[in-house]
Amino acid sequence: MPGPLDDVLVVDLSRVVAGPHATMALADLGARVIKIERPGTGDETRGWGPPFAGPEQVSTYYLSVNRGKESVELDLKTEHGRAVLARLVERADVLVENFRTGVMDRLGLGVERLHEINPRLVVLSITGFGHDGPEGGRPGYDAIVQGEAGIMSVTGPPGTPSKVGLSIADILAAQNGVAGVLAALYERTRTGRGRVVRTSLLASVVGAHMFQGTRWTVAKDVPESVGNDHPSIAPYGTFRCADGQIQIGVANQSLWRRFAPLVGLDPDDPRYATIPDRARRRAELTADVERALADGTRAEWLARLDAAGVPAGSIRRIDEVYEWAQTRSQGLVVEVDHPQLGRIELPGPPLRFDGEPPREHTAPPLLGEHTDAVLAWLDDQEGNA
């Protein structure tokens, strides 16, 4: 079954994570994505490891964000490379790039030129810190932006700034970029013209600050890291049982009245009567809760909490997540045929559409795997024009 973007052609000039993650999401939605790569070396992540897989030393990092694309080797520093790109742009709906500010202009492929070639083109440009401002154009990898954008200051044990264990700034920028592309494609149905969509890792992290941001902007309270606790809600976090830890989330009064009797507490105890009371007495409440949890295992307590309708969960390792029946039931693991590794499993797309059967996905491409086919397709398109 065709995907929602089945008639959309994406030219992908991006590398590393944010851009490739965005174009993989567009491919998951059915778009045809042609990934333009530097001859000989390709996307930098092709060399990122360990771990590598198979005797050919395929980067698992590269595999993680390039499913469902075609790879074309093209040197954009040459007239020939730019000419081929212009031919692709003429037929494309979307172009995605995450070069440093000014690189596209220096290549003679700035936004004005792209829209001269194809006025309907939607251009997505992702940078580290933004396209303008006093630090516009500054390069920024995910970990650097996590520090600069404040997320490290509210992550990890108190007093120990920690980065998120995923490339969260890249991922958020990719998701915001895809949302912008979809909005621009929809607008194009009315206007007939493309739009430039700009986002950055910085903007995407700051845009996700949520309550941590308004703690400062409205209350002038500087958030600090509180480990696995929640700064405003308790009990909400990680708690020790007899054989390890579980997570519990008691986020409202109704849940508190169900939870308190399970751990031997009076829901009307004035120490813990309201959400602010419980947050102020978090350490005392945690000690009371963990004294009760010490009489049972994780499995026993998860069963009790589930029966009472109190949100709780395990703390799974990554390998356990991929073996979990619930993960697989949601289509979050897909199998693809890789030309060097054979049949492999990859993290799957997070969206499903009602009534759509499971779709076949294609493996991340080898470097230049589709160069000849794409050039032949262009010749055919121009011959039939």
Q: Which among 100, 74, 97, 98 is positioned nearest to 87, based on CA atoms?
A: 74
Residue linked to tokens 């060399």: 47
Look up residue 366 and give its DSSP letter. P
Residue 1 is predicted with a pLDDT of: 72
Q: Count CB neighbours of 231 within 10 A.
A: 17
Q: Which among 123, 115, 138 is positioned nearest to 19, based on CA atoms?
A: 123
Q: Residue 64 above 90 pLDDT?
A: yes
Residue 354 is predicted with a pLDDT of: 84
pLDDT per residue as tens digits for the range 110-132: 999 999 999 999 999 999 999 99
pLDDT per residue as tens digits for the range 232-280: 999 999 999 999 999 999 999 999 999 999 999 999 999 999 999 999 9
Q: Count CB neighbours of 174 within 10 A.
A: 30
pLDDT per residue as tens digits for the range 158-171: 999 999 999 999 99
Residue 137 is predicted with a pLDDT of: 86
Would you call 97 helix, strand, or coil by DSSP? strand
What are the sequence ranges of the domains in the chain?
9-208+324-384, 236-316
Write down the CATH number for the domain with range 9-208+324-384. 3.40.50.10540
Q: Residue 51 above 80 pLDDT?
A: yes
Residue 192 is predicted with a pLDDT of: 97
Please tell me the total number of residues recorded for the chain in this structure.
385
Q: Residue 26 above 80 pLDDT?
A: yes
Amino acid letter for position 261:
P
Would you call 258 helix, strand, or coil by DSSP? helix
Average pLDDT, the chain: 96
Tokens of 173: 């920028």
Distance CA 55, CA 340 (A): 9
What would the mean pLDDT of 52-75 be, rounded to a whole number? 97
Tokens of 77: 């520093």
Look up residue 199 and give its DSSP letter. E
Would you call 308 helix, strand, or coil by DSSP? coil
Residue 380 is predicted with a pLDDT of: 93
pLDDT per residue as tens digits for the range 305-359: 999 999 999 999 999 999 999 999 999 999 999 999 999 999 999 998 887 777 8
Residue 305 is predicted with a pLDDT of: 98
What would the mean pLDDT of 218-231 be, rounded to a whole number? 94
Residue 170 among the catalytic residues: yes
In the chain, what is the straight-line distance between the N-terminal and C-terminal CA atoms, in Å?
28
Give the CATH class of 236-316: alpha beta
pLDDT per residue as tens digits for the range 165-217: 999 999 999 999 999 999 999 999 999 999 999 999 999 999 999 999 999 99
Phi then psi dihedrals of residue 245, to 5 deg: -115, 150
Q: Residue 48 above 90 pLDDT?
A: yes
Q: Count CB neighbours of 73 within 10 A.
A: 18
Beta-carbon contacts of residue 1 (< 8 Å; ≥ 6 apart): 356, 357, 359
Distance CA 253, CA 275 (A): 7
Using an 8 Å Cβ cutoff, are 284 and 277 in contact? no
* From 12, 43, 142, 170, active-site residue: 170
User: Does 9-208+324-384 match 236-316 in CATH topology?
Assistant: no
Q: Are strands 236-241 and 244-249 parallel, antiparallel or unpaired?
A: antiparallel
Beta-carbon contacts of residue 109 (< 8 Å; ≥ 6 apart): 76, 82, 85
Q: Count CB neighbours of 337 within 10 A.
A: 12
The DSSP secondary structure of 13-50, one letter per residue, reads ---TTHHHHHHHHHHHTT-EEEEEE-TTT-SGGGG--S
% of the chain at pLDDT higher than 90: 94
Residue linked to tokens 């350490």: 283
pLDDT per residue as tens digits for the range 366-381: 999 999 999 999 999 9
